[in-house]
Amino acid sequence: MDAFYQSPPSYDAIREKICQIKREFPFVRNFSVGSSLLGRGLFALSLGNVHNACFVCGAVHGMEWLTSLVCLRFFEEVAKAYREKQCIAGLDVHKAIAARGLVVVPCVNPDGVMLSLYGPETAGALRDKVLRIAPDGDTARWQANARGVDLNHNFNAGFAALKEMERRAGITRPAMTRYGGDYPGSEPESRALVQFCEAYRPENAVALHSQGEEIYYDYGPCTPVRSALIARLMAEAGGYQVLEPEGLASHGGFKDWFIDKLHRPGFTIEIGKGENPLPASDFPEVYPRVRDMLMVPLVL
Ligand SMILES: [Zn+2]
């Protein structure tokens, strides 16, 4: 296995990996869906029809960077199988891509990943703000973006209910995790996902998080009927569990917004098991199961 998948991915390493994928598979497209607060690119890779795609994103949360490795490896394997007319998990990738594209945004929150991996000095102009949130300078468990907004609490889905739950939990200001921001879509990273999905209307969307080996598919009355079946098939493919959301996690997330606004299947998959941040050494165990799971929304 490529050395890239054996260590935590810095922003530069992700960017270089995307260039390498583009060089190896000239038929894929690479573009950016926006920029982070600190001006880092929110890179995307796509294959096939972008307008009818399966959309997969990773690292919405800073210390969950293992999901970026999974996104990139999945895209790379799909591109290779497409070129060589091979199957993944017994499924015909060429046929799948002819019918439906694949778009991945491997790192939605590059500033958060850099904070988690390399500390407050990576936050540039926002370093002092970071140090107000983490006065001891320990940002190893940082989940939010560079100004302390949890991107997966910043989407326009049940936002008022989410803020009420935050208040009850004593979360009233920017923090390393779980502060949803002043208003939905206040952050450039969450806005970028919204704008991409509104423009291209993916057929389905999967946000990778860690950890727990769990799949969430439900968000209120707009949840498509087929979502439960897709979730069960993914669970079967990877040996994960399908769960209903509870508490703070149940509003303001990307998959909540995707279901509520586009009325299409949206999923959160909590990859791996252990304590976050999951180490890069978990990748060989975690990846093959997630790959088989991700084939389900790509072919269905
Ligand atoms: Zn997460």
In the chain the domains, ranked by start, together with CATH numbers, are 3-299 (3.40.630.10)
Is the distance from CB of 57 to CB of 189 less than 8 angstroms?
no
- Is residue 270 part of the annotated active site? The answer reads yes
Is the distance from CB of 153 to CB of 179 less than 8 angstroms?
yes
CA of 91 to the centre of ligand 1 (A): 29
Residue 114, token pair as written in the block: 């850099």
CA of 255 to the centre of ligand 1 (A): 12
Q: Please identify which of the residues 203, 270, 275, 285 carries the catalytic annotation.
A: 270
Beta strand 214-216 with 87-88: parallel, antiparallel or unpaired?
A: unpaired
CA of 137 to the centre of ligand 1 (A): 21
SS (HEC) of 23-58: HHCCCCEEEEEEECCCCCEEEEEEECCHHHCEEEEC
Please give all residues whose CB falls under 5 A of ion ligand 1, grouped by chain where several chains appear.
61, 64, 209
pLDDT recorded at residue 52: 87
CA of 25 to the centre of ligand 1 (A): 30
Report the predicted TM-score, pTM, of the whole model to 2 decimal places. 0.97
CA of 144 to the centre of ligand 1 (A): 10
Is the distance from CB of 119 to CB of 8 less than 8 angstroms?
no
Can you tell me the distance from the alpha carbon of 116 to that of 107, in angstroms, rounded to the nearest whole number? 13
Is the distance from CB of 227 to CB of 217 less than 8 angstroms?
yes
CA of 82 to the centre of ligand 1 (A): 30
Please identify every stretch of the chain with a pLDDT value under 50, giving residue numbers as ranges.
none
CA of 205 to the centre of ligand 1 (A): 15
CA distance readout (Å), 213 to 66, 112, 163, 250, 268? 14, 22, 27, 17, 11
CA of 27 to the centre of ligand 1 (A): 31
Backbone angles phi, psi at 3, to 5 degrees: -60, -25
For CA atoms 249, 250, 251, 253, the dihedral sign is positive
pLDDT tens-place string over residues 102-145: 999 999 999 999 999 999 999 999 999 999 999 999 999 999 99
pLDDT recorded at residue 169: 93
Residue 116, token pair as written in the block: 């988690």
CA of 86 to the centre of ligand 1 (A): 32
